[in-house]
Chains A and B, each alone.
Chain A
Amino acid sequence: MEFIASILMSGISLGGQYALIAIGYTMVYGILRLINFAHGDVFMVAGMVLIYMVASVPWYISIPLAIIATILLGFVIERAAYLPLRSAPRMSVMISAIGVSYLLQNLMTYITAGQPMYYPDIPFLSDTVPVFGTETQWAKLITPVIVIVLIVALTQLINHTKIGMAMRAVSKDFETSRLMGIKINKVISVTFIIGSALAAVGSVLYFTNFSVIVPTSGALPGLRAFVAAVFGGIGSVPGAVVGAFVIGICESIIRGTSFATFSDAFTFALLIIILVVKPTGLFGEKITDKV
């Protein structure tokens, strides 16, 4: 019972953390039809920035500052690496995203001098509490709450504000919405800002479970979150969240068995099965290619 409770709890919190990253993937894909390979690395940079911030200012100032820095990073990446390729073939933009990911990893290796960085203990979040007879961190307990609050806020933003309406319009039809007078670049920037902010929050919650970060720490969580986004139907925010929880829970169940090596393999096998059986995912809309 205790074992099941602890596995479920870590699965749900892991799922929540993946959900925060997956939203960034799914929103960008919905609007630009781009797999933003650099998103996992933005997530990693957010963790690194927090490490450097905590060294000089207290945690309650450094967390918001780290989130703002991540937002800036996401904004700059979009303006510098994706904006010049707006009319280029989709593959060029994807290659550019891969290039950005390569750049961010090398840059962080340079800044950290290749040393693994120790993630700070954040008061409260890193403290342990007894739940159902097991010890767990506050971060794991409050993750689902934070995720739900943020997602409710996000859906309100998408459904009931002007910019949200513009986002929906752009994701339906890029060209037409431009003709209707929507400022595409502004909408895309806002998408990247939201995605990066959520990734930054996710990184605080995710990395609290780990003692060190290295420049490649973001790659795998990023890919898993991407699988979650595909699973739920890429382009759909609720889909990404559901997918992320499924993937998170499955992962922590597999990690509890003797097949722990295969947790990532399982995730990717799930991806291939979903892509082959139902490429639009659980909640995705059917995209028809015009000739």
Chain B
Amino acid sequence: MVNQKKNIKGTLISILCILVFMAAVAVLENLNLWVPASSLPKWLKPTSMLFTVLKKGAVYSLIAVSLNLLNGFTGLFSLGHAGFMLLGAYTYAILCTPSSVKDTVYYKYNGSSVNFSMQEFYQSFLGNETLSMILGVVTTMILAGLVAALFAFLIGLPVLRLKSDYLAIATLGFAEIVRALFQWEAPFWGRITNGANMIKGFPKFSDFNIENADGKVVFYMSTLFPFIVAAVCIAVMVLIIKSTYGRAFRAIRDDEIAAEAMGINLAKHKMMSFCTSAFFAGIGGVLYAMYSTTVQAKPFTSALTYELLLIVVIGGIGSVSGSCISSFLFVACSEWWLRFLDKETVIGGFKVPLLRDGFRMVVFSVVIMIIVLFFRKGIMGDKELPEVAGKIKNRIFRNGKKSKGEAEK
């Protein structure tokens, strides 16, 4: 009973923390509307790296949590996430690019076979442009997730029977097959996927800024939007993890044979975890497409999956909050904080050796190797933020000789 109460308290606190954090993001982004530009520090300007990092971090944290659901909570070591992301991103790009733009984008194939877009579909009977865009994007997001989940189901039928590294390599192969498929230049197929060329023109993060009648932005939403989507999706995943299904997943991870003996249907639960993970990876792919503003099969290589896997490992395999924290750290380090390593620097006439283009990534990968080798538990281990925070609080209170009240409870 006590335990449950504490859980509710912890949940409430974490929800509150997330809301406060998102509010802070919204305020930071809109500061330049309310405060004169000259008084703002450089890192708060709308073009600052800070917002790029926040956007990409939110996108990555959604995908990392979905990968963690599979790798960390179900113990299915899958390397096919780039493939699911690609499916999501392409579904979004094909269904949400306005038909007026499509002719120029698909010029090599004389226009697209999919000559409508979700927004236009909604607008035809709703009329309101903003509302139909939001509805169109949200519907397509869910569709994108479903497409990814459908493919996960199809590939999961044969592949999920495999164990550990065989599963990893089979899913990696699946991702590569999907990527090859989307680079196919056949005329009928190219009219849908635009071959190996990029698709662009679909709504991106900046299209969610609220504008007044003159087209002037009155409220920036471009950073907040990925946060809202990611928060909702991660919340759903947390609920799944906390449910009986989540417990079954963890039982499978810890001991397959014991789990089966306890009456857990292995095939069913593995498939469920695989499809759920793919579903959210598909939505993550949509966000990734919005972030990069163009869609092309090229970046969805196994290197992308490896990056995500390393994020999960750094955060702690089996910790949702760890995955989120490490996504932001990873993106911030690789895109922003370590940038100084890429510039040739001269301090007092002495040229610092080694510093030049690409050195940032070398340092970064050495740090990753150190974490992988010596801090195998990652930032959070398999614990969640409220748990860790509670422990730290206890320790502080104990040091201050105030632990009596805690102990009596």
Contacts and interface: CB of A to CB of B under 8 A. Distances in A.
A53 interface: no
Contact of B164 (A91, A216, A272): A91
B356 A113 contact: yes
A223 interface: yes
Nearest to A35: B165
Interface residues of A, number: 45
Interface residues of B, number: 47
B307 to A, nearest CB: 8
Interface in B160-177: 161-166, 168-170, 172-174, 176-177
Chain A contact residues, majority secondary structure: helix
Given A110-B358, A265-B177, A85 B185 contact: no
A203 interface: no
A8 B301 CA distance: 30
Contacts of B170: 271-272, 275-276
Contact of B184 (A88, A103, A261): A261
B82 interface: no
B369 A99 contact: yes
Given A94-B168, A219-B302, A275 B176 contact: no
B373 A85 contact: yes
A95 B165 CA distance: 11
A77 to B, nearest CB: 10
Interface in B218-275: 257
B153 interface: no
B33 interface: no
Contact of B166 (A85, A91, A227, A279): A279
Given A91-B77, A114-B357, A276-B158, A265 B176 contact: yes
A262 B184 CA distance: 8
A150 B313 CA distance: 39
Interface in B55-93: 77
Contacts of A279: 162, 166
Interface string B364-402: 111011001110100000000000000000000000000
B306 A102 contact: yes
Contacts of A113: 356-358
Contacts of A107: 362, 365
Contact of B369 (A103, A114, A275, A289): A103
B167 to A, nearest CB: 9
B232 to A, nearest CB: 29
A264 B184 CA distance: 12
Nearest to A260: B185
Given A110-B358, A261-B185, A272 B180 contact: no
Given A107-B362, A265-B180, A268-B172, 14 more contacts: A90-B164, A95-B372, A96-B369, A99-B310, A106-B358, A107-B365, A110-B362, A114-B358, A271-B169, A272-B155, A272-B159, A272-B173, A275-B170, A276-B159
22 contacts: A33-B165, A88-B376, A90-B164, A90-B165, A91-B77, A96-B372, A99-B310, A99-B369, A101-B306, A106-B365, A107-B365, A114-B358, A223-B172, A264-B176, A268-B172, A268-B174, A271-B173, A272-B158, A272-B173, A275-B169, A276-B170, A289-B163
